[in-house]
Structure 1
């Protein structure tokens, strides 16, 4: 199942629909909604400017920069247009707080960008960004801006946001590019972890993380997440909501967290992953420091697509061998098993009479003999099985390597790029936190 990419553009197609949000008395189901594939192709509908009033005076100052009520109202309209979250009495404060947080961060980013005299974002770069956003939703820049204008959003509001966004990416990449590099050892460690987890169940998920400290506390995070879930099951696109509201690094990818392996996430999240069906959206999941919302895009028992490298030592016995012969071969291999490793087992087999050794190479688990499949699925790398009886004889099987197979297998370069992107995102978040800590921010 492909996760459609949404950038800062208006999310035109609703991904989640239905009325499964209501709970059955006495029950607390994990799932809150299901995927509606037809909604991905929903036609464009002009947005109408929500009716909420706000004074046009100064609402905040960020160092020597002001944020007016008009600025805040424009940004709230942009958040609403991009996410298709409909303003209600319950969520309007959350939308306002999110818009104000974004404006404060942008003021700080713009002020920092201005200290680098050679960092200039041209009008052409802004035009190209808006044109790319428009193309992603199947239109041109002129129509795209007109669409926003129908919702009361000035083109300049979007242009200002894009200019800061482009400049900030360039600044973070230029300033921290060297620090974001990853060592060969870090990549090798992740590659080993991927190999070790290749046979475990995996989940392709979208995530939204509401950080409690950013929204005023854990209860506010929980209430805000509940409102977002309700909006998404009524039609607000998951990716657009994630991009605007999520504090997770995956927010820049519309909440795309990729494939996660069973047992590598917090227990509360693992419980949800085990219970959600493909296409379902979770209810808010409280964790320390915030609240998660998870969308189950796909799941798989990865043993079917994992590639395993096996070696064996065997005593050849026909199917007609007597029980005494089988027991003798089993006893011999049982005594030998603690002495074997992936490195020495073939040499041991050639040095002892009556033993045969073989490197079975790399194979997909389903293609192996039935007696070998369980060992291939669950055996730790470097482990040697107990004796196994097949029509050919009695075997000891060593699991000498494992990796993901198929189109989802990650190369060394894939892992390196992913780790570098995560490092850059972390350094960028730390950078803006430091700017906030040093700034004079006053609310009016």
Structure 2
């Protein structure tokens, strides 16, 4: 089963906590305002990124991503130091809520994330620390916004009028990776970093995982997602490239006023026109112990198929489906929430399009297990229609991103950073 983006990003962002004895013996890579980054920190992070991005953990791959990982860890240390200096508090309840959201997005029971990370050799305490730093930085930036954190309703209405006036014009679903250049002396290093990231993307690394790990824009928290943008909303250099790109393409590094941008075009539509069928979905997966040979199914695979059939034939409605899956004991329940029917592959569109709400699908065999689907709700919506709440949130994200870049630029300029061999 494909892991949800939330879990992929966390695996990309989490760092393995070093056992004390090993941390003491690790070499020093950099000293950031007196705080040490060790070779063990670098090794842990680059292996985690390779695993999350699906890259082989060969010496060549790990060596290639080392400069980006070092830069990433320096920036993270600067953010954490500023959060601590400003005495921004992150409660245990906030961290626990973030953990629970991830578990729910991945259909895990309480404590499931801890077990999942443990199987991959990741200490959950390191994840707690990363979440505290991420939550703390976001709280700090929003606090610094002051009154700018409140979006004037008239500004929202102005945006709505602009969208209505642009109805029928093209708009673009964009992802970005941003590498800052705060000083002309950093130009060559930033250009090399951008080129290395392009190489990783060409070798198959997922754009959201690379953005979450290495982008220095606030959009990294969303895997680089900028959402839908129109002409005039991007920097001119980026807009000139985006408007000519085919969907799915990734740009070369684009030099802008603040640094280098790498962008991907995820979709194209007309402003104000995007009718969609949205399904509230539940999914159950009955895993096989070994890969399925349709001609010679194993006893375990036959038992899983029978268990899936019992759920399919006996459950009516979403609540009954969830209870039956949990009672089966051998299945994983996933709650992906609303999905868009039109974005699914043709076979999945056929299956989901023919399911009445509350009716469970027939068992769907895959090489790795049996899938059951149930549609809990179905609605049609114009996704391109102006939404005041979404527009206000987009305006706030723009302000947060701009301020976050400014604050990071100031932190880097004031920092005492000593790189070691």
Q: TM-score, normalised by structure 2?
A: 0.59
Structure 1 unaligned regions, length at least 5: 12-53, 307-404
Given that residues 210 and 292 in structure 1 are in contact (C-alpha distance below 8 angstroms), is that contact kept between their aligned partners in structure 2? yes
Equivalent residue number for residue 207 of structure 2: 238
Q: Which residue of the other structure, out of 13, 27, 30, is the alignment partner of 1:60?
A: 30
Partner of 2:136: 167
Aligned twin of 2:400: 424
Asked whether the equivalents of residues 156 and 392 of structure 2 are also in contact (C-alpha less than 8 Å), the reply is: yes
Deviations 1:271-319 (A, max 9, x none): 54344333x222414223544333322212447669xxxxxxxxxxxxx
2:73 to 103, 107, 118: 103
Separation of aligned partners in 2, 1:263 and 1:432: 26
CA distance in 2, matches of 1:137, 1:214: 41
Displacement of 1:223:
4.6
Match of 2:255 in 1: 287
Q: Distance in 2 between matches of 1:217 and 1:285?
A: 15
Partner of 1:371: none
Q: C-alpha distance in 1, partners of 2:51/2:118? A: 10
**Secondary structure of residue in 1 paired with 2:148:** coil
Is the 8 Å Cα contact of residues 61 and 442 (structure 1) preserved in structure 2? yes
Distance 1:413 1:212, change over 3 A: same
How far apart are residue 230 of structure 1 and its match? 4.4
Q: Distance in 2 between matches of 1:191 and 1:303?
A: 10
Query: How far apart in 2 are the matches of 1:149 and 1:243?
Result: 22
Counterpart secondary structure, 2:249: strand
* Counterparts of 1:283 and 1:304, CA distance in 2: 26
1:433 to 389, 409, 413: 409
Query: Displacement, 1:214?
Result: 8.9
Q: Secondary structure, in 3 states, of the residue corresponding to 1:260?
A: strand
User: CA contact under 8 A between 2:218 and 2:400: conserved in structure 1?
Assistant: no
Distance 1:422 1:85, change over 3 A: farther
Check the 8 A contact 1:113/1:171 in 2, yes or no. Answer: yes
Secondary structure (helix, strand or coil) at the match of 1:277 reads coil
Distance in 2, matches of 1:215 and 1:146, equals 46
TM-superposition CA deviations, 1:58-86 (whole Å, max 9, x none):
22222232222222322333333343344
> Residues of 1 paired with 2:240 and 2:407: CA distance?
34
Larger relative helix fraction? 2
- Cα deviation, 1:221-264, whole Å, max 9, x if unaligned, reads 45544443444454432222211122333222112111122465
Counterparts of 1:147-158 in structure 2 under 5 Å?
147-158=116-127
Q: CA deviation at 1:206?
A: 2.0
Q: Which residue of 2 aligns with 1:83?
A: 53
Unpaired runs of at least 5, structure 2: 13-23, 276-380
**Which has the larger displacement, 147-156 or 240-249?**
147-156
Once the two structures are TM-superposed, the CA of residue 172 in structure 1 deviates from its matched residue by 2.7
Structure 1 residue 253 corresponds to structure 2 residue 226: no
Q: Distance in 1 between matches of 2:386 and 2:225?
A: 16
- Helix, strand or coil for the counterpart of 2:10? coil
State TM-score, norm by structure 1: 0.56
Q: Secondary structure at 1:207's aligned position in 2?
A: strand
Match of 1:411 among 387, 393, 396: 387
SS in 2 for 1:300: strand
Displacement of 1:422 in angstroms is 1.9
Cα separation, 2, equivalents of 1:169 and 1:137: 24
The 2-side partners of 1:72 and 1:137 are apart by 28
Aligned to 2:39, which of 63, 66, 69? 69
Aligned Cα RMSD in Å? 3.7
C-alpha contact 2:212 2:224 (8 A) present in aligned 1: yes
1:217 Cα offset (Å): 4.8
Does the aligned pair in 1 maintain the 2:53–2:206 contact within 8 Å? Answer: yes
- Structure showing greater Rg: 1
Give the superposition deviation at 1:56: 0.7
- Kept in 2, the 8 Å contact 1:187–1:415? The answer is yes
Q: How many equivalent pairs are there? A: 299
Would the alpha carbon gap of residues 290 and 62 (structure 1) be closer, same or farther in structure 2, given more than 3 Å must change? closer
Q: Is the 2:51–2:57 contact (alpha carbons within 8 Å) kept by the matching residues of 1?
A: no
Asked if 2 retains the 8 angstrom alpha-carbon contact of 1:243 and 1:255, the reply is: yes
CA distance 1:212–1:110, shift in 2 (3 Å): closer
Q: 1:276 to 1:412 in 2, by over 3 A?
A: same
Task: Give, in whole Å, the separation in 2 of the partners of 1:169 and 1:60.
Answer: 25
Q: 2: CA distance between counterparts of 1:419 and 1:102?
A: 27
Deviations 1:82-115 (A, max 9, x none): 4334456666456333333333333333333334
